[in-house]
Amino acid sequence: MKKLVYVLALLLMGGGSCKKKEPAAEPMPTAEKPGMPMEQPAKAPETGMAGPMMTEVEIVPEGGAASTMISYMDGKNSRMEMYQGAGADKKLIMVHLMKDNEMYMLDPANKKGTKMAGGMMHMGGPAESQTGKYETWKEWMDAEGAKAGTNVENKGAENWNGEDYTVYRVTTADRSYLDYYVDKNEMIKRWVVYDGAGKKVQELRMLKFEKNAAMPAGALDIPSDYQIQDMKMPGMPGMNR
């Protein structure tokens, strides 16, 4: 499940930057405190299937203004649009393209952008477990819980926006945690990020998810009137293509 990983990693890394630095805490036990057993044979979420897809995610920082991200992914190619605000009044502020193993960051307001080799940016974060490595939720959560200083709990059922979800909580050594809301179809529809003091930092809401959604025509094109700066770095193998 590597496609949505890339999207969610960007989102969750952004959420991490909002966290306040917490005092050092003792690592949380894992084997001694494995959390509630998860015996349901839930399949892994379909948010990382092999075919093309389209997602729309709303990002809501606690006490701040919402933003929206719309992404199209097909193989190694992708287009991500970041908007200020949500709904019909949202404003496009950034476009991120991946094509031909190269990455473009475009600034629509100023008609400028940068280009660099795709390998220059490593994506990671809490979402990188969604790589297709695990076939069931239980396998994924067991693997998370086995990490040093990490604790996993099945928090049970919770109703959100009129729909029932199973909530999985992954807590790290600094006592910050992330709640995954999984619906009856085994789709993650909501992520809620908390800091080490238990204060909500932000939440992400999956507004739209379409399997086999074709990328719009011209989605990977660079506008001819944009000024693009090539960020090649001399002397670094594989960066000067």
pLDDT in tens, 175-205: 999 999 988 888 889 999 999 999 999 999 9
Q: What is the mean pLDDT of residues 64-92?
A: 93
Residue 147: the pLDDT is 84
pTM of this prediction?
0.69
Domains of the chain, earliest start first: 3-230 (2.50.20.10)
- What is the DSSP code string of the chain? --HHHHHHHHHHHHHHTTPPPPPP-PPPPSSS---S---S-PBPPGGG-SS-EEEEEEEEETTS--EEEEEEEETTEEEEEEEESSGGG-EEEEEEEEETTEEEEEETTTTEEEEEEGGG----SGGGG-SS--SBHHHHHHHHHTSTT-EEEEEEEEEETTEEEEEEEEE-TTS-EEEEEE-TTS-EEEEEEE-TTS-EEEEEEEEEEEETPPPPTTTTPPPTT-EEEE---TT-TT---
